[in-house]
Amino acid sequence: MSLVRRHRILFVIALALVGAFVTVTWSFLTVWRAAHVDDASSVERADAIVVLGAAQYNGRPSPVFRGRLEHASLLWREDRAKLVLVLGSNQPGDISTEGEAGRDYLISNGVPASDVVSIPQGHTSYESLEAAATYLRAKNLRSVFLVSDPWHNARVKRMATDLGLDAHASATWTSAYQSHGTRLAGYVRETFAYLEYRIAGGH
């Protein structure tokens, strides 16, 4: 009897391991596929371009953040949307927010101040997108191009869709994440972040 019970326990453990492997693999493939699709190639225009924040240093965007901002500027120059939202709050001790630093950067690079809005709220992607969705709904705007790094596409697009936006991902491949190592780390990190979001949601 103990042998049967032991085999049953081993079978359950093996089944759980297989299930975990399949789930993680599914999440990785979802992140990978989404990273290699630029929705701007099939969607001509949206109501707004939404830039996910990244590190900034006393008002100066980090190289990763600059890559996102420059891609957003390119979309704006191509007339894909008139409005650009820059998201992100600050860390303790910061004198500026990601949203403000990004807005200033875009204006200094030729985007009119009237076309750029800072949404300096949220310490997570979900919180920032939630604030952006609230702003857009108040103006009867719904469709967006989401600009971040490619491995974020699946998660931020899912979040924005869950928040009621018509979301299209158009990521930058020109941020500071250029080496194979940093990109692989991004995919691995996002595999588990995407899985966590699908299980636990944004709160």
Across the strands, what pairs with 166?
A: 143
Compute the distance between CA of residue 91 and CA of residue 122 in angstroms, rounded to an integer.
11
Compute the distance between CA of residue 14 and CA of residue 82 in angstroms, rounded to an integer.
54
Residue 6 lies in a domain: no
Residue 58 lies in a domain: yes
CATH code (residue 194): 3.40.50.620
- In angstroms and rounded to an integer, the radius of gyration of the C-alpha atoms of the chain is 20
| pLDDT value of position 76 | 97
Q: Which of 150, 158, 104, 101 is nearest to 129 (CA)?
A: 158
Tokens of 15: 């089944």
Tokens of 158: 């899912």
Q: Which of 192, 168, 201, 150 is nearest to 27 (CA)?
A: 192
| pLDDT value of position 175 | 65
Q: Which of 12, 2, 114, 100 is nearest to 51 (CA)?
A: 100
pLDDT at 3 over 60: no
State the residue for tokens 């250029």.
178
Q: Residue 142's Cα: distance from chain center in Å?
A: 17
Residue 88 lies in a domain: yes
Tokens of 200: 């636990």
Cα separation values, 14 from 5, 10, 19, 163, Å: 14, 6, 9, 37
Q: Considering the chain, what percentage of its residues have pLDDT values greater than 70?
A: 93
| CB-based contact 153:35 (threshold 8 Å) | yes
Q: Determine how many CB atoms are found less than 10 A away from the CB of residue 50.
A: 31
Q: Which of 136, 134, 72 is nearest to 103 (CA)?
A: 72
Tokens of 182: 């940093």
| pLDDT value of position 18 | 85
For the stretch 18-33, pLDDT in tens is 888 888 899 999 999 9
pLDDT band at 176 (very low <50, low <70, confident <90, very high): low
Residue 27 lies in a domain: no
| pLDDT value of position 50 | 98
Q: How many domains are there within the chain?
A: 1
Residue 72 lies in a domain: yes
Compute the distance between CA of residue 2 and CA of residue 87 in angstroms, rounded to an integer.
59
For residue 147, what are the domain limits?
35-200
| CB-based contact 87:68 (threshold 8 Å) | no
- The predicted model gives 165-192 an average pLDDT of 84
Residue 78 lies in a domain: yes
